Every structure is written in structure tokens, then in C-alpha cells.
Structure 1
Amino acid sequence: MTIENQSDIDGIMAAGRVVAMVRDAMLEAVEPGITTQELDSLGSRLLEESGAKSAPKLIYDFPGATCISINEEAAHGVPGPRTILAGDVVNVDVSASLNGYFADTGGTMVVPPVSSTKARLCHATRIALRCALSEARAGAPINRIGKAIQSVAKTHRFKVIRNLAGHGIGRALHEEPERLVGYYDHHDHRVLHAGQVIAVEPFLSTKSTYVEESEDGWTLVGAPRNLSAQYEHTIIVTNGAPIVATHAAGHG
């Protein structure tokens, strides 16, 4: 969507605060022995208490309130009986609707002990998101977002998952502009404009450049023993630095 008035800004920011709060609470609750279903139940309860509705459940009838992906799973992981173990790379992706506005966010953490590779992967993906957001301003080519992500991945010797991408968001979970890819696409001549609401989400991995749907029909999985990380923010594009709707609580 494109912001038209202050009510739109307030709506996106309110939805962003809710999903950011749920994201952070779920990541904080990750520990060895907890199941992904228990973690999702926490997210579901917090969304409900906030008056928000799970977007994947609402839009796609997804079998969970949130997506929880572990190790070889890159995205859209279905909550269930899987137990989180020490050393696991855990991604939590939370999207929700609040009063007609949608916001989407995600984060990744490693359950201690943390290997150097896993720490570097998360660090590089956070940097990729930060660099991508620095390119997101009115008048800028959309493909500079992907170029920034790809450059960070190469510098840190990781791969970009090419068939996962960011997207427009606002009045629906997925809107134009679709396919905000994490690599430089010289065929993409689209330009960002002020007021546009987008979700930027780099996916970096140790081995895989593509992921495939697993037997459950939802979870997207990389190559055997592949590890990936994702961090995501919903932002409002301006003529300068973007307005981030999904910062952690208390973030300036």
C-alpha cells in the first residue's frame, strides 16, 4: 500500500509494534526442550491479547499462528512436536493484521552453544538487512535492495536464497511491489516511491541458493545440513531514511 494519511501511518506502526513484540517474546522463550508448538502457542496468545490476527492463518489457513523454521528449514516452518535442541538455528517469522493493517517481521537466534559459523551467519544477515534498508528511499531503484544484500552475503562468504523475497504489504499481507529479491536483478527497473510500505527480508545461507517445499506442503527446506538466517522489517519508504514499524520495543 501507499500511505495516504496519518491514520495509515498509525495503523502500520501499531501493527508493527505488535508483531515485533511477539517476535521478541518468542525468540526470548527459545530454549532446549521447548517444542515449536509450545513456542507458537505463546505467539498465538500474545497476538490474541493484542487484538491482532495471525496473517498466515487468516490468509492461507496455515497450521500455526507463526512460522518457526529450524536448521535445514529456511522459511514457513510448521509448528509441531519438534523439540528445539542446543545448537539449533531457530527462525521466527510473525505477521499479523490489526484493525485492517498488516505488518511482517522475523528474526533468527542460535541456541547455545553457538558455533562461529552460526554466529557469523546471523551477524551477516543482520548487516544485510541494515544495508538493504539504507537503500530503501523514494526514487531509488528497487534492485539496489537486492544488490546490497548480495554484496553483504558475498563479503561474509554466504549465499543468498534466491527464491525467497520481500514484498509490499499494508492492507494485505502481500501486495505490490512483489519479489523484492535478495540479489541484484538488472532486469528490474522499478523505483520506490514515498509512502510505499514494504517488508524487507534477506535470507542468507551456508549452502543453498534455492529452497524446496517439504512433504508437509508448507515448510521450505534447503540442501541437507544447510543453515539459513532471516531478519525482516516492515518499513514505510520516505525521501530519507525509512520509518521502521517493527523495531524492538523501546528502540529509538
Structure 2
Amino acid sequence: MTITSQTDFEELRAIGRIVAQVLAAMGAAIEPGMTTRELDDLGRRLLEREGARSAPELAYRFPGATCISINEEIAHGIPGDRVIRAGDLVNIDVSAEKNGYFGDTGASFPVPPVKSHVERLCRDGKRAMWEGIRAVRPGGRLNAIGERIERFARKGGYTLIRNLASHGVGGSLHEEPEGISTWADPSDRRIIGEGLVFTIEPFLSMGGEMAAEAGDGWTLLADPVAPTVQYEHSLVATKNGPVILTLP
């Protein structure tokens, strides 16, 4: 969506804070021995306490309040009986709706003990996201985001998952502009309009190139299998620079 009023901005910041706080609480609650369903139940309770509704349930009838993906799973993992273990890499994606406005955020959480290459991957996954955010300006090219992220990834020896992209958000969970690449795509000539609301969510990997379906209709795996992280913020492009909506 494109913000057209102060109400838009305030409501988007409100739902953005909610999903950010839920994500942070879920990340802090991760412990070896708990199931992804138990972690998802926490997320559901926190969303409901704030009067928010799970966006994937609302929009797609996803079988969970949040998406929780572990290790070889990189996105859209279904909460269930899988037990989180020491050394796992857990990705949590929290998106929700309140008062007709949507917020979307996500992050990857390594469960101690953390191997050095995973620690580095997580650090650089966050950096890759912020590289993309720094490219945002009204009148600029959407593809400048992907160019900057890919330059960072190549310098660090990483790959990017190239069939999972950023997207417009705000009035619904996924809306125009769809398919905002987090890699260089010279064919994309779209321009960032002032007030445009969208996500930036690169999937930085140590060898994965694509996301492949796992067979349950939802879960996506890195192909080829490799450690992969995702960090995501929703933001609005303003004349004073990008305003991050999904901060606790």
C-alpha cells in the first residue's frame, strides 16, 4: 500500500510494534526440548493479547499462528511436534493484522551452542537486510535494493535464495509491488514511490540457490541444502529516508 494519511502511518506502526514484540518474545523463549507447536502457542497468545490476528491464518488458512522453520527448512515451516534441539537454527516469521492493517517481520535464531560459521551467517544475514534498507529512497529503483544486497552477499562468499522475494504489505499480507528481488535484476525498472510500504527480507545462504517444496504444501527447503537465514522488516519509504515499522 501507499500511505495516504497519518492514520495509515499510526496504524501501521502499531501493528508493526506488535509483530516485532511477539517475534522478540518468541526468540527469547526458545529452549532445547520444546516443540515448535509450543513456541507457536506462545506467539498466538501474545498476538491475541494485543487484539491482533495471525495474517497467514487469515489470508491463507496456514496451519499455525506463525511460521517456524528449522535447519533445512528455510520458510513457511508448520508448527508441530518437531523438537528444537541444541545447535539448531530456528527461523520465525510473524505477521499479523489489526484494524485492517498488516505487519510482517522475521528473524533467525541460533540455539546454543552456536558454531562459528552459523554465528557469522546470522550476523551477515542482518547486515544484508540493512544493506537493502539503506538503498530505499522515493524516486529510486526498487532493484537498487537487490543490487546492494547481492554485492554484499558476493563479497562475503554467500548465495541468495532467488525464488523468495520481498513484497508490498500494509493493506494485506502480500500486495503490490510483488516480487521485489533481493538480488540484482536489471529487468526490474519499477520506482519507489513516496509512502510505499513493503518488506525487505533477503534469504542469505551458504550455498542454497532456490527454495524447494518439502511436500506438505507449505514448508520450503534450501536447494541445495545449506545453512540459510532470513531477516525481515516492514518499512515505509519517506522523503526523510526509510522508516522501519517493525521495531519493538
TM norm structure 1: 0.97
SS in 1 for 2:223: coil
Equivalent position amino acid for 1:63 in 2: P
The worse-fitting range, judged by mean Cα deviation, of 151-160 and 99-108 is: 151-160
Provide the identity percentage: 50
Taking only aligned residues, the RMSD between alpha carbons, in angstroms, comes to 0.9
- Cα distance in 2 for partners of 1:218, 1:10 equals 32
Q: Could you tell me how far 1:157 is from its partner in structure 2?
A: 1.1
Q: Is 1:76–1:220's contact at 8 Å kept on the other side of the alignment?
A: yes
Which residue is equivalent to 2:132?
Answer: 132
Deviations 1:11-40 (A, max 9, x none): 100010000010000000111111100000
Which residue is equivalent to 2:180?
Answer: 180
Which residue is equivalent to 1:241?
Answer: 241
Which residue is equivalent to 2:115?
Answer: 115
Size of the alignment, in residue pairs? 248
- Spell out the pairing of 1:19-58 with structure 2 (5 A cutoff): 19-58=19-58
- Spell out the pairing of 1:52-91 with structure 2 (5 A cutoff): 52-91=52-91
Unaligned runs of 5+ in 2: none
- Cα distance in 2 for partners of 1:43, 1:156 equals 33
TM norm structure 2: 0.98
- Cα distance in 2 for partners of 1:98, 1:53 equals 7
SS in 1 for 2:238: coil
Deviations 1:111-135 (A, max 9, x none): 0111111011111110011110011
Which residue is equivalent to 1:203?
Answer: 203
Q: Could you tell me how far 1:54 is from its partner in structure 2?
A: 0.2
CA distance 1:187–1:224, shift in 2 (3 Å): closer
- Cα distance in 2 for partners of 1:225, 1:96 equals 29
Unaligned runs of 5+ in 1: none
Large movers: runs of 4+ above 4 Å: none
- Cα distance in 2 for partners of 1:101, 1:46 equals 17
Which residue is equivalent to 1:222?
Answer: 222
Q: Is 2:210–2:224's contact at 8 Å kept on the other side of the alignment?
A: no
Q: Could you tell me how far 1:223 is from its partner in structure 2?
A: 3.5
Which residue is equivalent to 2:103?
Answer: 103
SS in 2 for 1:37: helix
- Cα distance in 2 for partners of 1:104, 1:130 equals 16
Equivalent position amino acid for 2:4 in 1: E
- Cα distance in 2 for partners of 1:170, 1:144 equals 22
- Cα distance in 2 for partners of 1:77, 1:35 equals 13
Equivalent position amino acid for 1:167 in 2: H
Q: Is 1:72–1:223's contact at 8 Å kept on the other side of the alignment?
A: no
Equivalent position amino acid for 2:52 in 1: A
- Cα distance in 2 for partners of 1:225, 1:38 equals 26
Q: Is 1:68–1:90's contact at 8 Å kept on the other side of the alignment?
A: yes
Q: Could you tell me how far 1:224 is from its partner in structure 2?
A: 6.1
SS in 2 for 1:13: helix
Equivalent position amino acid for 1:143 in 2: N
Equivalent position amino acid for 1:103 in 2: G
Q: Is 1:72–1:224's contact at 8 Å kept on the other side of the alignment?
A: no
- Cα distance in 2 for partners of 1:134, 1:205 equals 21
